[in-house]
Structure 1
């Protein structure tokens, strides 16, 4: 049995694709995942499974489509991959409020994206993660999840520093 952190793309955002977390946990239990936990309302899941990441994502996506009729992408990371993503963050962590991680459904072959008007905001594409340092603030940055998806031709879902660290804490607690 292996521990995974699963991120769902685009649920409970602006009232769209609403899925109550209690119902999501029940669905995941019914799909035979073990030790299922969710964190806040935006599709953050920790679970144990013997399946591969690809099978886990497929089962979750199909389960959500069958129950809710939503086409919601799921992205999975092992605990080691999650730790590695955090450890490789290339910018200053001095101001955690401007730090974020965009997790991608596959490695990007593109490492340089042209986004107009990013000002002092910074990004770095590193395999299946885009590291963000948004000095202008997340409400104003042009380095949005939608822009990242469009420029890299991938599915992405972004989590701020606080959520990324909290998911690690939850996944590693005894």
Structure 2
């Protein structure tokens, strides 16, 4: 089966440095094949016959053993990845409006979670928020649309505080990983 694995907090701000060639080698050493990485933020697409129930823990343990620190890894199989793209909850008009506000930055992001985001948690994040940024719950994701840099978004800060183990990717990366999944 085909999967994408997303590591949290590697190669960020000069900390937890992991070369992508070394990450690929780890996957090969774990008995995983057709391994490809994308950019330096810990995105790995691969095929394996290993069980989905043991795979995440095997990867986490192998990662910590090889690199000497823990990194949360969130995985989606190819069908889940396709579904999350198809279920984008923002209209083209909403995306274009956000992009028009500042064409120099990314605007659409996905926060990948281990579990389903409860609506009460989404409501808490949005409580008393005044601004144009938007969030929507997915299956095990939160879709985020901002009209400014994500680094300046108060709503993005709230999401990160509420979902500390989440890892976030911009829509370009989400789309590229889907392309890689369909072509391995």
TM-score, length of structure 1 as denominator length = 0.89
- Are 2:112 and 1:106 aligned? no
Q: Deviations over 1:44-76 (max 9, x none)?
A: 000111223342211111111111111101111
Tell me, what secondary structure is at the counterpart of 2:45? strand
Are 1:125 and 2:134 matched, yes or no?
no
Asked if 1:139 corresponds to 2:151, the answer is yes
Q: 1:48 to 1:26 in 2, by over 3 A?
A: same
Q: Structure 2 matches for 1:1-174, cutoff 5 A?
A: 2-93=1-92, 94-95=95-96, 97-109=106-118, 110-115=121-126, 117=129, 119-144=131-156, 147-152=158-163, 155-173=165-183
Structure 1 unpaired stretches of 5+: none
Alignment size in residue pairs: 171
User: 3-state SS of the aligned residue for 1:127?
Assistant: coil
CA distance in 2, matches of 1:54, 1:147: 31
| CA deviation after TM superposition for structure 1 residue 29, in Å | 0.3
Whether contact under 8 Å (1:118, 1:143) holds in the other structure is no
Q: Which has the larger radius of gyration?
A: 2
1:117 Cα deviation from its structure 2 partner: 5.0
Distance in 1, matches of 2:76 and 2:117, equals 16
Partner SS for 2:116: coil
Q: Which has the higher strand share?
A: 1
CA distance in 2, matches of 1:150, 1:127: 20
Q: Give the gaps of 5 or more residues in structure 2.
A: 100-105
Q: CA RMSD in A?
A: 1.9
Post-superposition Cα deviations, 1:127-146, rounded to whole Å, max 9, x if no partner, equal 311000011221211233x6
